[in-house]
Amino acid sequence: MSKRAADKTVSAGLEFFSAWFCPYAQRAWIALEHHGLKYRKIEGLLPDAPGEDFKGYKKHPRLLELNPKGLVPTLAEDGMPPVYESSVCVEYIDEIAACCGERPSLMPGTPAERAALRLKVDWINKNLCSPFYQVLVRTSTEDREAALKMLQCSIDELEAWIKGPYFMGEQLTAADIAFIPWAYRILHCKILERFRGPAFALDLATRPKLAKWLDSVLATEAVKATLAEPEALCGTYKRYADNTALSKVDELPDESEEDEEVLVACLDRLADQAPRLSAEDLVASLCGLAMLGVRDDVATAALSEEVTQAIPMLACPELALLSWACGTLGLRSVPTMEAIAEESLRRIWQFGANDLIKLLCGFGSLGLRHRPFLEAVASAIDWSLQQLPLRGLVQAAWFLAVLASPEHKVMTSIANQMLMQLEHLSLAELAGVWVLSDLVFDMEG
Ligand SMILES: N[C@@H](CCC(=O)N[C@@H](CS)C(=O)NCC(=O)O)C(=O)O
């Protein structure tokens, strides 16, 4: 951090989650340095393996707490809601610095001029940053060349509107900051040429205003403080160029991908936090995964390991839900299901009718025939048949049949109970029960 930055006390508690190689984080970093704010810079992303074995990041737990996507930059300040997304961070930094007013705003001018600046930032994201990644990660020559063409055209367009020395004139603005990290990578570190050959060089001789702009920004103190060493930076792009990076930075943001990223981050966090969750929250998490139809081995293994220890502490409805969730997730963890069977057997008469069905459902879905447990469940169901709706009766019959439970007495009771409500059964339910009844035993009547 520069001396100027260290001297300021505007935001003593400002935490800045960054990554040394990240161009998005660099945007926020330049804004912090420009305004000379006091902040604590924390590396939020650590490689999960050294060198060539790198596959993804281990994320700082506090970063994940603040930003469920676990992306840098993320800013956090003494009890305030966290701030993320680089362009939002730049504007936020500019606003919190406004009170000292020593350095010019990065969003100067009238509301209309500021709106124009925001549009420029958006344009830079789509027309300069995206094609940079596309040249690197696209696998076909045509796709790479098309992305290069787009980048060249956008750079020509940029050349036409640079006022000099900065994009908008005398002052550094959020629009310059939006492009500086990529300009450094493309025009100074020459990352595209390095990985894709001399045909991918971008000629500055034919773009004199851009060349001057680059000199100006790279000589600006706030920018100089944030520049990574070119060799090290190039190294981080190797995995994009080799197509081993897990990131989807080359594609324009798409909502389903964003949802997917949130889900992946939540699952990572769930697996990580499982040892700290209460017994009820462990069950709720597994139910949530079951309802979403998410089968993530790491998260479910971590949750089921923890919940197995907590089974004696669970009330009957939670035990029943746990069985249902394990069944729905196809979680055949023997210790978990055995512990559920053992604990339920001890308390079988405390279960309500509907919970008995959920309990049975887990074992039925997994095809687990824990004999004494099943016999006890069947007897308990027999006792609470009156309380079961038709649907519950059908499910009970179905699961007992699937598990080939030899409890003919219970099946007969269920059948009799159903007979009384026969006219309410759907055709599909009737057919299903009929087939099962044939398989298990000869239903009389
Ligand atoms: N749209 C975000 C993009 C930020 C971003 O993609 N940051 C990367 C590092 S350069 C990141 O945090 N990656 C972590 C991950 O992909 O999980 C912004 O403008 O801040």
CATH for 378: 1.25.40
What distance in Å separates the CA atoms of residue 357 and residue 395, rounded to the nearest whole number? 7
Host domain of residue 73: 1-103
CA angle 120, 125, 128 (to 5 degrees): 95
Tell whether 114 and 90 lie within a shared domain.
no
Indicate if the pLDDT at residue 444 is higher than 60. Answer: no
Of 41-50, 92-101, 221-230, 429-438, give the lowest mean pLDDT range.
429-438
Q: Which atom of ligand 1 is nearest to the CA of 125?
A: 19
Instruction: Report which of residues 237 and 416 the model is more confident about.
Output: 237
pTM of the model: 0.58
**45 C-alpha to ligand 1 centroid (Å):** 10
226 vs 223: CA distance, rounded Å: 5
| Last-in-domain residue among 253, 282, 301 | 253
Tell which of 62, 87, 103 closes a domain: 103
Ligand 1 mutation target, pool 48, 69, 72, 254, most atoms within 8 A of CB: 72
342 falls within a domain:
yes
For the stretch 140-180, pLDDT in tens is 899 999 999 999 999 999 999 999 999 999 999 999 999 99
Ligand 1 center to 65 CA (angstroms): 16
Q: Both ends of the chain: CA-CA distance in Å?
A: 86
pLDDT at residue 346 greater than cutoff 70: yes
Question: What number does the ligand 1 atom closest to the CA of 44 have?
Answer: 12
Ligand 1 centroid to residue 19 C-alpha, Å: 9
Task: Check which CATH number belongs to the domain holding 79 and give it.
Answer: 3.40.30.10
Q: Are residues 321 and 403 both part of a single domain?
A: yes
pLDDT band at 437 (very low <50, low <70, confident <90, very high): low
DSSP letter at 16 equals E
Pocket of ligand 1 (CB under 6 A): 19, 22, 24, 45, 57, 70-73, 85-86, 247
Domain boundary among 253, 273, 293: 253
Number of domains in the chain: 3
What CATH number does the domain containing 205 carry? 1.20.1050.10
Per-residue pLDDT of 185-235, as tens digits, reads 999 999 999 999 999 999 999 999 999 999 999 999 999 999 999 999 998
189 within a domain of the structure (yes/no)? yes
pLDDT given for residue 443 in this prediction: 44
Q: Which atom of ligand 1 lies closest to the CA of 21?
A: 10
Strand order through the sheet with 40-43: 40-43, 14-18, 74-77, 83-84
- 90 and 216 fall within a common domain: no
